[in-house]
Homo-oligomer: A and B are copies of this chain.
Amino acid sequence: MTSTDLRIDRDRLIRRLEDLGAIGAIDGTTGCARLALTDDDRDGRDLVRTWMCDLGLDISIDGIGNVVATMPGFDPAIAPVMTGSHIDTVATGGRYDGNLGVLAGLEVIETVIASGVELSRPLAVGWFTDEEGARFAPDMLGSLVYVGGMPLEEALEIEDRNGIGVGDELDRIGYRGAAPTPGRVPHAFVELHIEQGPVLEDEGITIGVVEGVQGISWTEVTLTGQSCHAGTTPMRLRHDPGVVAADVSLFVRSLTRDIGGSQVATVGALTLHPNLVNVVPSTAVMTVDLRNTDESVLQQAETRFRGHLAQAAEAEGVGVDTRMLARFEPVVFDARVVDVVEAAARDAGLSTKRMPSGAGHDAQMFARVCPTAMIFTPSVNGISHNVTEYTEPDDIESGANVLLDVMLRLVEMEFA
């Protein structure tokens, strides 16, 4: 048997997704809630760790609670080909986001071990703490610390909304480990993840070949006008922040048409005060989310948005205050790993599409330290971060088999 004949065990993988999804399950749905470092997260961790132990893997837990399991019996000087993702979820999440990447990685390793195929490098699978950022900001915290992007001490002091710290919670659930951070640099890193968007389904494609992650620009805009009576105040005497917010909403939508390509723009949050039918609002607080794969184009979009905002606010006599909520430059994945993903999928007879990721993932942290790329599988109706999140078993199987093939190919590759 050669390594290219290997196939993962679809039923075992799906059963594990179901078993892990049963922890923190949301009644009456297939969704689940395992916020980072809660009791439910601990129970999920314990379950996956048991599976890793059963396989005889070397398990290391670092100071931020990242758990990495490596095939045993290799010279410690030989860096592993690593995969992984996260098993924490948002408050009303699905059972695929993150979990698929971890359990498919485990499935790949189990398949390779069971086959008896000899490798020149070990495979490793990890999960990284608080990827969602739904409890502790920033998101992708564990992988950020793993690659040395944040000192451990700083990360341990981060608190949730109730003032409970990361370090204390790690101690409480028994996941503050001894492995050092930054962690061991892998030979290469590849992450399988659900798309969390509608593109693959819309175009009937099975495998997304992820070339990078969009740059993200989040701005909170506070517009301050003059509250007044909707009946007694003539239009010429109004300073209505809601009208400026509407103007900016339409402008950023029009920006996406002008700029085209990967440019997206979203006004997801908008709050008027006092928010009454017969009162012109005194304030409007809105968020503007701009994303592009090209940093210079993203900067262009930001500049045009800010220019229009200033102009619209001045025309209405409304004050403007802006606050940057988040700003990440685009991440470009390693072209060689991207090519391997595409080749493996095509060799398996699967349809592929090169695409950016619109969301952040642990892989983008690993891209800082080693050759990295990602594999996407379709999300039904493009839905994620929702209890109705779903990916077809056929797509899960295809994605995991592509992950298997890619990891085996990466074992053989040398990156200069």
A residues adjacent to B (C-beta < 8 A): 195-199, 202, 214, 216, 218, 220, 227-235, 237, 240, 242-243, 245-247, 249-250, 253, 256-257, 263-272, 275-281, 287, 289, 291, 325, 357-360, 382-386
Of the candidates B247, B268, B271, B277, which one forms a contact with A289 in the assembled complex, judged by CB atoms under 8 Å apart? Answer: B277
- How many copies of this chain sit in the oligomeric assembly? 2
Complex contact A382–B197 (CB within 8 A):
no
Complex contact B250–A243 (CB within 8 A):
yes
| Interface-central residue, A195, A240, A245, A270, by most chain B CB under 10 Å | A270
* Chain B residues in 8 Å Cβ range of A250: 243, 246-247, 250
Complex CA gap A278/B277 in Å reads 27
Closest to A235 in B: B256
Closest to A245 in B: B246
13 extra A-B contacts, CB within 8 A, seeds A198-B233, A232-B384: A196-B232, A197-B229, A202-B237, A229-B358, A231-B360, A234-B264, A235-B256, A242-B249, A245-B246, A268-B279, A269-B272, A270-B270, A270-B275
Complex CA gap A264/B236 in Å reads 10
Complex CA gap A196/B229 in Å reads 7
Complex CA gap A216/B232 in Å reads 12
Complex contact A216–B231 (CB within 8 A):
yes
- Least CB distance from A310 to B in Å reads 18
Known interface pairs A382-B229, A382-B232. Does A268 touch B280 (Cβ–Cβ under 8 Å)?
A: yes
- Least CB distance from A335 to B in Å reads 22
Complex contact B228–A383 (CB within 8 A):
yes
Complex contact B279–A231 (CB within 8 A):
no
